Chains A and B, each alone.
Chain A
Amino acid sequence: MLLSIEEAVRLIGKNEILHIAGSEDSLAKLPKGKWIGGTIPYFMTELGGLVAEEKVFVTGLSEYSGNVEIVTYDEGHLKNVLRDAPENGFTIIIIPAFSRCHISYAENAPNYEDMFMKPIIGWISGVHLDDLGKTTPKTFNGETGEKSGEKAIAMHVSLPPNKFAEIGIINILEPGQGDTLQFETEGFSVKDCLVNGLKTNFADYLVSNRIDAKLPLVANFSGSMVNVSIREINNPEKIVHLYAPVFLHTDYHIAQPVSDYVTEFMTRLSSEEIFPVFSCNCILNYLYSKLEGKKTGHLTGPMTFGEIAYQLLNQTLVYLEVKEVQG
């Protein structure tokens, strides 16, 4: 929930276990305690989407947690994040946008030890879009008071044996009916692609086909739709920069346009019973679908520069549930 700095300070003072999103100035005002944080001033709240520089979005985790560990990771140690995670529980991770950890996690996380065996959810911290290039996204270790523009911060939360964590996603974007696109190199920046098997410059393809750059590439990952959003088409250099890496041996399609994000989202939401402990959504959904002032039900949280449900995702809502073991 969105709280004033004073309200957040009170919760920290009660030794609550917290995940906190907010502007750098807001997070810097918080005292040490059992919390992790990341910078972003965009939120989806119960009252709708909004920008708030003076408030913080707080997610309480005390009621779910047995043992809690807060660990900072540099690029070299990030691969250990799931080795450190509990056998039964979950990890929330925040990574500063544009940092080496961001790129490393996006490209390598699917191959980390214990990936998919232990639930990991999180997001890429950002800044107010007016401040891009003026300041850098940060993460905060509430326990030590350290803030960083380079290091990831993780909270490992163990659960009692009668509970388990499950991560889900809501991606309303579907692959379009157009060309099949494949890539011969992996990464955040690409020059060439195969269009229905024919080698083509990707920037030329997007420009000559007048592709709306707000529509991501979408691939069907064995039942989960995974987006890769377009960051910039650099036509002079004939290179396309992306918000997540493309992978080899994967068929991508430009997404089918969505006329009304909120309506589509709420339709999808009404078909599922979700009781989120934590959720976050993408800043691009906020911008492209003009979510300021609009509501997306009880799935609230920061609007981020990238979402993590095991691996880095784009233009996708991710959520964590804690459920009772049946039987």
Chain B
Amino acid sequence: MVPAKTNGKWRALVTGELNHSFKSVPAALMFSGFKREVRRDNSPSNINRLIDKAYIFFIKYEALLVRDIREIFKQE
């Protein structure tokens, strides 16, 4: 199950504080782009916008991201 957007791991993922290696190609490319975007604009509104996008992606592709979800949110 995809954790709620309030989970702190989302912020860590989109900012790159959490450096996860994705098995899924689109996830890897997308989060790499997010990290570059945060380097350009690290305002809370931009980070929240990226978290929204990441969450929608995870909901849509949950079945493909099972291993990543387990590894990223393992301590939840």
Contact = CB atoms under 8 A, between A and B. Distances in A.
Interface of A: 110-111, 115-117, 119, 166-169, 220-224, 226, 247-250, 309-311, 325-326
Interface in B11-38: 19-23, 25-33, 35-36
Contact of A222 (B20, B39, B56): B20
Nearest to B64: A166
Contacts of B56: 117
A124 B32 CA distance: 23
A221 B20 CA distance: 10
Given A221-B28, A223-B20, A224-B25, A110 B33 contact: yes
A222 B28 CA distance: 5
Most buried by B among A116, A168, A311, A325: A116
Given A222-B21, A326-B63, A248 B36 contact: yes
Contacts of A116: 26-27, 29-30, 57
A221 B29 contact: yes
A325 B27 CA distance: 19
* Residues of B in contact with A, size category: 20 to 34
Contacts of B30: 115-116
Contacts of B74: none
13 contacts: A220-B21, A221-B32, A222-B19, A222-B22, A222-B31, A223-B21, A223-B27, A223-B28, A226-B29, A226-B32, A309-B29, A311-B29, A325-B63
A245 B61 CA distance: 28
Interface of B: 19-23, 25-33, 35-36, 39-40, 56-57, 60, 63-64
B63 A224 contact: no
Contacts of A221: 28-29, 32
A222 B16 CA distance: 9
A199 B19 CA distance: 26
Given A116-B29, A224-B28, A310-B26, 13 more contacts: A110-B33, A116-B27, A117-B60, A119-B26, A168-B25, A169-B25, A222-B21, A222-B32, A222-B35, A224-B22, A248-B36, A249-B39, A250-B32
A117 to B, nearest CB: 6
Most buried by B among A110, A222, A226: A222
In the complex, the 9 A-B pairs of residues with the closest C-beta atoms, listed nearest first: A223-B21, A221-B32, A224-B28, A116-B30, A249-B39, A223-B22, A223-B28, A116-B26, A222-B28
A175 B65 CA distance: 25
B32 A310 contact: no
A111 B28 CA distance: 14
A117 B31 contact: no
B67 to A, nearest CB: 11
Contacts of A110: 29, 33
A234 to B, nearest CB: 27
A211 B35 CA distance: 29
Contact of B36 (A119, A220, A249, A309): A249
B48 to A, nearest CB: 18
Contact of A310 (B21, B22, B25, B40): B25
